[in-house]
Amino acid sequence: MSYLLQEGTRGLVRTPGEVGVEQIIVNLVLWLKLAVETTGAVIIGLGVFTTIYRFARALVPPQFERYNEIRLSLARYLALALEFQLGADILSTAIAPSWEQIGKLGAVAVIRTALNYFLMREMRGERDVASAEGAVAKGGEGS
């Protein structure tokens, strides 16, 4: 027995239980999205554990000069993870069923892009400060 399924603006006749190519592609994209999101979450987890370990090592004996380096290391992990999360959002828009969902995903993508931008800007600023301090230290050694 066949029945009519409405997909977009065209109708397709299918038998019950039959899976179309479009549904297979949507399922593959959903699995890929899940894998990309999971990768981002794993990167955040690795970053947190690495940062906790490095922070604990910097506590005994206290090495205050390493705190900024440790914080920037976590920022690098977060920036990379945000790139993966943004990739997952982009995959979601490929299969989003409504303009409302596309709008929500767009808002999340804008927020994640802004977070990533500010993280990268802060890391660049800290790198420039560290380079300037290194140049001053080298200049003082030659005197």
Quick one: pLDDT at residue 4?
42
Average pLDDT over residues 1-30: 64
Give Cα 109 distance to the centre of its chain: 10
8's tokens: 């977009």
pLDDT band at 125 (very low <50, low <70, confident <90, very high): confident
CA triple 111-86-83, angle to 5 deg: 105
pLDDT digits (tens, 9 = 90+) for 65-113: 788 888 888 988 998 998 898 888 888 887 766 788 788 888 888 888 8
Residue 130 backbone dihedrals phi, psi, to 5 degrees: -65, -40
Quick one: pLDDT at residue 9?
39
Q: What is the pTM of this model?
A: 0.69
Asked if the model's pLDDT at residue 26 lies above 60, the reply is yes
Cβ–Cβ contacts within 10 Å for residue 81, how many?
22
